[in-house]
Amino acid sequence: MSSRRTIDGPGLRRRLVLGAGLACLLPALGAVTALSTSGPTRARVIAAAASPSELGRWGGKVKITGKVQDATTCQLKLLSTQPLPVVYSGGSRPCSSAFTANVVIGPNPSSLRRTIAFALVARNSTSTFTKHFLVALAGPSTTTTTTPSAATTVPELSETPASQWTTSLFDSNVQTWPVDASSAQYVSDFVTDYQTDYGSVGVDTLPVYTVPPGEPRVTVSVAAGCNNFIPDTGSTIPIPAYADLNGSSDNPLVIWQPSTHTGWELWKTARQSATSYSACWGGKLDTATSDGVFQYPYGLSATGISYLATAITEADVASGSIDHAIAITLPRCDSSVYPADRTDCGDDVGQPGEGQWFRFAAGTQMPSGLTPFAQMVFRAIETYGAVVTDQAWGVFLEAEQTSDWAAEGRTGIDPITASWDGLEAYQVVASLPWSDLQVVDPPSS
């Protein structure tokens, strides 16, 4: 059984970024993925909707209504803000058959249409039921976008971090690794966590940019009140002019330059000018020699595990295969295990630790009817596993944000969006057999 560590470190507590730039809402606003625990009397959400379901650019007031059955308490959860100001009461309150709430959504500062995801959660003493619904917020009628200049070369998608990073621990086949003694308990906790905190396993996103040789460097400084990470990253980083920060409270940024086999990962990134950025923490690693974990205490994740090594990229999906372990976040965790070298977990005794490694056991049947993305995720977790990189507010896989594709000057639909077959982030991997996971222990150095 793997040993646990309690070293503290900076970490991501991101809000999920859903549906950036979507042209329309789901065909049926009430389309859901609902999961519940078994019990003699199950709580249910029969319907949940917002009125109006679409607002103009300047936002406004929305009334949330829900019809519930056999519930004792209900709670409205905001799943994404992207990063719009939203005022609402998120506390749990008594309910039996109906739920109402008012939400005020602020103006959209972005040039893109935004889709805001909510969940209505009904509970009783034996079960929890979650129903998702969306509110759309229009973008301005005219948009200005920074695109690559004619002199900019966007690297070919054949270059995936896994194909170039031969020393990464996260490219290892995990099928021969021993099952952890607490595997059954940790998998049970995993399933309970996603049912309780989000309703499904979702997909979270962050910007990941691959830059060519000669990409101009910009200055990077330490944000006020933050610790100095510059000795590790250096004071200049080749961040492209078209980089699109996701606007979350953590504002992560991942840069990879294959020609110099270097990756940079920043936390709480802010653009100060066309040629300067600030960040609150970060790190740099050499993808020719690194095992995929930043030298302590640097990096982006709370564990030191690199997102360049573990996030699902558009290049991965375009290649048709995710050839590495997948980063995953949990809402509750207990200390850390190898390969994590630090943690931001609380004392949730009995929960998996950061650094814990999950896999689908050999012989687990892949469900029929999965999207191309879900099929790739299933095969990747079966072969390479999924490793806990951070604590967040739900169970999420980490992937590259879909807006990177257009920001890089590429045309058409990005590979990740295309591989979802019209599903949303909370739906696309919900049908995978998560209860069939195992926890395994990697060979430690």
Q: Are 204 and 348 contained in the same domain?
A: yes
Q: Are 181 and 125 contained in the same domain?
A: no
- Using CA atoms, how far apart are residues 231 and 283, in angstroms rounded to an integer? 9
Q: What pLDDT score was predicted for residue 96?
A: 84
Q: Are 191 and 339 contained in the same domain?
A: yes
Angle at 221 between CA 219 and CA 224, to 5 degrees: 155
The answer to the question of residue 360 being in a domain is: yes
Helix (H) / strand (E) containing 191: helix 183-197
pLDDT: which is higher, 100 or 239: 239
Q: Are 316 and 393 contained in the same domain?
A: yes
**CATH code for the domain in which residue 120 is found:** 2.60.40.10
What is the number of residues in the chain? 445
The answer to the question of residue 445 being in a domain is: no
- Using CA atoms, how far apart are residues 248 and 253, in angstroms rounded to an integer? 11
Distances (CA, A) of 116 to 24, 92, 138, 282, 395: 12, 20, 11, 29, 18
- Using CA atoms, how far apart are residues 379 and 370, in angstroms rounded to an integer? 12
Q: What is the mean predicted confidence (pLDDT) over 6-30?
A: 37
CB of 65 closer than 8 Å to CB of 30:
no
Domain that holds residue 206: 4-15+159-440
Q: Are 277 and 404 contained in the same domain?
A: yes
Q: Are 272 and 225 contained in the same domain?
A: yes
E strand map for 187-226: 202-206, 208-210, 218-222
Residue 380 dihedral angles phi and psi, to the nearest 5°: -65, -45
Residue 1 confidence class, pLDDT cut points 50, 70, 90:
low
- Burial pattern 408-422, b for ≥16 Cβ within 10 A else e, equals bbeeeebbbbbbbee
Q: What does the block give as tokens for 195?
A: 């049912």
CB of 44 closer than 8 Å to CB of 17:
no
Q: Are 309 and 203 contained in the same domain?
A: yes
Q: Are 121 and 255 contained in the same domain?
A: no
The answer to the question of residue 37 being in a domain is: no
Q: What pLDDT score was predicted for residue 36?
A: 39
The answer to the question of residue 21 being in a domain is: no
The answer to the question of residue 91 being in a domain is: yes
Torsion from C-alpha of 367, 369, 373, 374, nearest 10 degrees: -20
Look at residue 106 and tell me whether its pLDDT is greater than 50: yes
The answer to the question of residue 38 being in a domain is: no
Q: What pLDDT score was predicted for residue 141?
A: 43
Q: Are 93 and 198 contained in the same domain?
A: no
Cα 149 from chain centre: 30
Q: What is the mean predicted confidence (pLDDT) over 281-296?
A: 95
The answer to the question of residue 221 being in a domain is: yes
Look at residue 191 and tell me whether its pLDDT is greater than 80: yes
Q: Are 384 and 274 contained in the same domain?
A: yes
Q: Are 126 and 233 contained in the same domain?
A: no
- Using CA atoms, how far apart are residues 222 and 112, in angstroms rounded to an integer? 29
Residue 156 is given by DSSP the state: P
Q: What is the mean predicted confidence (pLDDT) over 236-249?
A: 91
Contacts (Cβ under 8 Å, ≥6 apart) of 416: 312, 314, 317, 373, 399, 400, 402, 405
Could you read off the pLDDT of 119-154 as tens digits, one per residue? 888 888 888 887 777 777 665 543 334 555 444 556
Q: What is the mean predicted confidence (pLDDT) over 208-230?
A: 96
The answer to the question of residue 398 being in a domain is: yes
- Using CA atoms, how far apart are residues 434 and 187, in angstroms rounded to an integer? 8
Q: Are 362 and 244 contained in the same domain?
A: yes
Q: What does the block give as tokens for 428?
A: 């696309």
The number of folded domains in the chain is 2
Question: Residue 263 class from Cβ within 10 Å (0-12 exposed, 13-18 middle, 19+ buried)?
Answer: buried
Query: Where does a domain end: 137, 172, 200?
Result: 137
Query: Where does a domain end: 137, 171, 204?
Result: 137
Q: What pLDDT score was predicted for residue 30?
A: 38
